[in-house]
Amino acid sequence: KQEVTQIPAALSVPEGENLVLNCSFTDSAIYNLQWFRQDPGKGLTSLLLIQSSQREQTSGRLNASLDKSSGRSTLYIAASQPGDSATYLCAVMDSSYKLIFGSGTRLLVRP
Amino acid sequence: EAGVAQSPRYKIIEKRQSVAFWCNPISGHATLYWYQQILGQGPKLLIQFQNNGVVDDSQLPKDRFSAERLKGVDSTLKIQPAKLEDSAVYLCASSLGGSNTEAFFGQGTRLTVV
């Protein structure tokens, strides 16, 4: 059974700092991995999708990497801003096309 | 392109009552998901449709939850009777389908059972 874990559960950093969020999964048989952002009381916004054949994807200040063999992904946020404060969730699409989520990392960027 | 639409946004009901949520996916999206997200946790998959067929409903509490997707477009999720532990946000998502397509989420319905 696929399990997704995100570390740390919460993170507080000063504005301007570069930071890394971690995601690990137990079964490497995945089709893709997706990173989402969730603001309080809102739905999920897709940030990056990494296909199983890819190693990384970039969008603006965000860079996500995927190491399928070791079951790990990282989301790198450069020059963090208070507007980046949110919960970040990773999800893997397993071999049955199910999208399975981790429990998220709550990020607070202090001005 | 219009996003995934969900209604209502909020619902408060008493335990043992019934409730229904509605989802309209992005046009042309074959795959539709319903998730339950309890406060402080990640979303948990309840049911996954491919067009109007069920792909996975292994985590759907079938004694009280039901879902349908008529004509492979809109979907409804029903709870009857509701329990206190059903208080959560119910999220609907859709994707084109296949192994490398992005999932898009609606704003969710926040259910409070009192």
Dist CA B95 CA B56 (whole Å)? 15
Q: Which residues of B touch A6 (CB under 8 A)?
A: 42
CA–CA separation, A54 vs A50, rounded Å?
6
- Let me know if B9 is exposed, middle or buried by CB neighbors in 10 A (0-12, 13-18, 19+): exposed
Closest CA to B48 of A2, A13, A8, A93: A93
Q: Which of A54, A62, A103, A66 is nearest to A79 (CA)?
A: A62
Instruction: Calculate what percentage of chain A has a pLDDT beyond 70.
Output: 100
Quick check: A91 and B100 CB within 8 A? no
pLDDT of residue B70: 82
pLDDT at B71: 84
| CA–CA separation, A94 and A98 (whole Å) | 5
Confidence band, pLDDT 50/70/90 cuts, at residue A57: very high
- Alpha helices per DSSP H over chain B: none
B40, B56, B106 member nearest A96 (Cβ): B56
| Residue from the list B4, B42, B45 with its beta carbon closest to the beta carbon of A98 | B45
Report the amino acid identity of residue A34: Q
According to the model, what pLDDT value does residue B1 have? 58
Out of A6, A44, A104, the one facing B91 most closely (by C-beta) is A44
Q: Name the minimum distance, in Å, from the CA of B92 to any CA of chain A.
A: 9
Q: Terminus-to-terminus CA distance in chain A, angstroms? A: 41
Note the pLDDT tens digit of each residue in B91-113. Answer: 999 999 877 788 999 999 999 99
Q: What is the rounded CA–CA span in Å between residue B23 and residue A98?
A: 19
- Tens digits of residue pLDDT in A19-46: 999 999 999 999 999 999 999 888 899 9
CB contact under 8 A, A44 and B43: yes
Which residues on chain B place their C-beta less than 8 Å from a C-beta of chain A?
4, 6, 31, 33, 35, 40-45, 48, 50, 55-56, 91, 93, 97-100, 102-108, 110
What is the structure's pLDDT at A1?
Answer: 87
Q: Which of A4, A36, A93 sits opposite B99 (nearest CB)?
A: A93
Q: What is the mean pLDDT of each run of 10 residues along chain B (114 residues)?
A: 90 98 95 95 95 92 95 94 97 88 92 97
Distance to chain A for B81, nearest Cα, Å: 25
